[in-house]
Amino acid sequence: MYRLLKIYGLAESVLLDLGEVRGFDYYSGTYFEAYVAGFGASIAAGGRYDDMLGRFGYDCAAVGFAFDVGRALSVMETQGVPVPLPGPDFFIIDFTPRKERGAVAGATAPRSRAPRCARDIISRGLDESVAYARAQRVSQILVIGHPRAGAEQVVAMNLADGSERVLAVAEILDHPERVFRGGSHA
């Protein structure tokens, strides 16, 4: 492993500590953890576990590892590395008494053309729901049961430019690309 690190020019960036001893009885050989300088927890771990799969009826040698994505993102944030985390293309807020009916129809129909959809499941005021959507990095909001919309209408809010439109539900279902043109999948 160290020879490969040297070949790739990474040997100076890696510290090998062969004194680590763990109590994981499923490892049958080398076990490793990966750390980043200045961060106190491992961001990846793995090793050799030849006998573990046999416990489940499949006797086979194995090697595996996993990255802790949350910790890796924390390291990147600490180091000032920008990590663009896109949110849903649109967010559904439903103020009607039978939320499940309107929101589910609105959420499932356009998914094939704008796949990143989220739905507010907590009852709260419009301002609070919009603030939550912003925190989730949403680009568009559909408000079902808005006072300015009729029975078969929704209010579409574009958070990027602040515009609002009243749209017929049929238009959204028939032509979602017109509604979601500001989203990343439009």
DSSP label at residue 131: H
C-alpha angle 98/132/105, rounded to 5°?
30
Tokens 């040297």 found at:
6
Asked if 43 and 68 count as a contact pair (C-beta separation under 8 A), the reply is yes
Widest distance between CA atoms in the chain: 69
Q: What is the dihedral of CA 140, 145, 148, 154, to 10 degrees?
A: 40
pLDDT tens for each residue of 161-176? 999 999 888 887 777 6
- Tell me the per-residue pLDDT of 132-152, one tens digit each, with 9 for 90 and over: 998 888 888 889 889 888 888
Q: What is the pLDDT of residues 101-140, one digit of tens each?
A: 444 444 444 445 545 778 888 888 999 999 999 888 888 8
pTM of the model: 0.52
Angle at the Cα of 164 (from 143 to 154), degrees rounded to 5? Answer: 30
For the chain, domains (ranges, CATH) are 2-78 (no CATH), 90-179 (3.40.50.800)
Share of the chain above pLDDT 90, in %: 14
* pLDDT at position 182: 47
* Window from 31-35, 64-68, 94-98, 172-176 with minimum mean pLDDT: 172-176
Confidence of residue 71 (pLDDT cuts 50, 70, 90): very high
Kindly state the DSSP code that residue 90 receives in the 8-state scheme: E
| Residues 125-131: contacts with CB under 8 Å, at least 24 apart | 126/93, 126/95, 129/93, 130/93, 130/157, 130/159
Using only C-alpha atoms, the chain has a radius of gyration, in whole angstroms, of 25
